[in-house]
């Protein structure tokens, strides 16, 4: 733990967030400790408290950082020039690919959020919900027909169910998620 505790470089911050992400994913919010995160990252506790404030803020930062990577991945992989069904399917596919690469990040963002402190839940739900909804809304707007609010709301529900299905294995029914059929059903006629 002999590293400098002064200024937090982007590399050190990433190392702390990676250690925190792994610890929260392993032990949950309640079971994770700042001490174990500091040990994993090779950082003294005062440094973590100085830069992040407390465990709640560190968890919030981990959630927002993971969600930011998810959104960046989806934005880079979505297909916007082949019509609404292709774009929506590409959003789902990008989320699925992100889950394959970073299952603990998606798990943190959409499963552990429910057991986080209420302030973290509210902050994260507001941001993540707004950003995911905006992806869908923008896809609908690109059709040139305007936004069908009922279909958009249904698609948002399908997306949330898909995310929960990926991140909460206990909620799975054993049946494959038929996202493509759900997407086509909701969008038929558009």
pLDDT digits (tens, 9 = 90+) for 135-159: 999 999 988 777 889 989 999 998 8
For residue range 77-128, list pLDDT tens digits in order: 999 999 999 999 999 999 989 988 988 888 887 766 777 888 888 888 888 8
Strand stretches in the chain, DSSP E: none
Considering the segment(s) 1-53 as one domain, its CATH architecture is: Orthogonal Bundle (1.10)
| CATH number, domain 55-187 | 1.10.357.10
How far is it, in rounded angstroms, from Cα 22 to Cα 144? 43
Q: For residue 178, is pLDDT > 50?
A: yes
pLDDT at 60: 92
Q: What angle do CA 24, 157, 138 make, to 5 degrees?
A: 95
How far is it, in rounded angstroms, from Cα 125 to Cα 120? 8
Q: For residue 1, is pLDDT > 60?
A: no
User: What is the pLDDT averaged over residues 4-11?
Assistant: 71
> Which residue would you say has higher pLDDT here, 138 or 190?
138
Residues of the chain with CATH 1.10.10.60: 1-53
What's the pLDDT band for 2 if we cut at 50, 70, 90? Answer: very low
pLDDT at 147: 82
Residues of the chain with CATH 1.10.357.10: 55-187
Q: What angle do CA 61, 63, 21 make, to 5 degrees?
A: 85
Single out the residue of 43, 18, 162 nearest to residue 104, CA to CA.
Answer: 18
């Amino acid at each position: 733990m002999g590293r400098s505790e002064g200024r937090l470089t982007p590399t050190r911050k990433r190392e702390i967030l990676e250690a925190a992400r792994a610890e929260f994913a392993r032990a949950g919010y309640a079971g994770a400790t700042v001490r174990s995160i500091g040990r994993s990252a090779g950082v003294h506790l005062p440094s973590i408290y100085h830069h992040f404030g407390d465990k709640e803020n560190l968890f919030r930062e981990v959630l927002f950082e993971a969600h930011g990577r998810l959104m960046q991945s989806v934005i880079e992989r979505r297909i916007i020039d082949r019509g609404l069904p292709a774009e929506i399917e590409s959003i789902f596919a990008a989320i699925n690919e992100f889950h394959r690469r970073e299952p603990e990040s998606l798990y943190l963002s959409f499963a552990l959020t429910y057991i986080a402190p209420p302030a973290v839940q509210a902050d994260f739900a507001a941001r993540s919900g707004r950003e995911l909804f905006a992806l869908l809304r923008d896809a609908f707007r690109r059709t040139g027909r305007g936004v069908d609010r009922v279909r958009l709301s249904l698609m948002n529900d399908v997306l949330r169910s898909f995310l929960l299905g990926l991140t909460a294995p206990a909620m799975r029914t054993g049946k494959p998620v038929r996202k493509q059929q759900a997407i086509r059903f909701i969008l038929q006629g558009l």
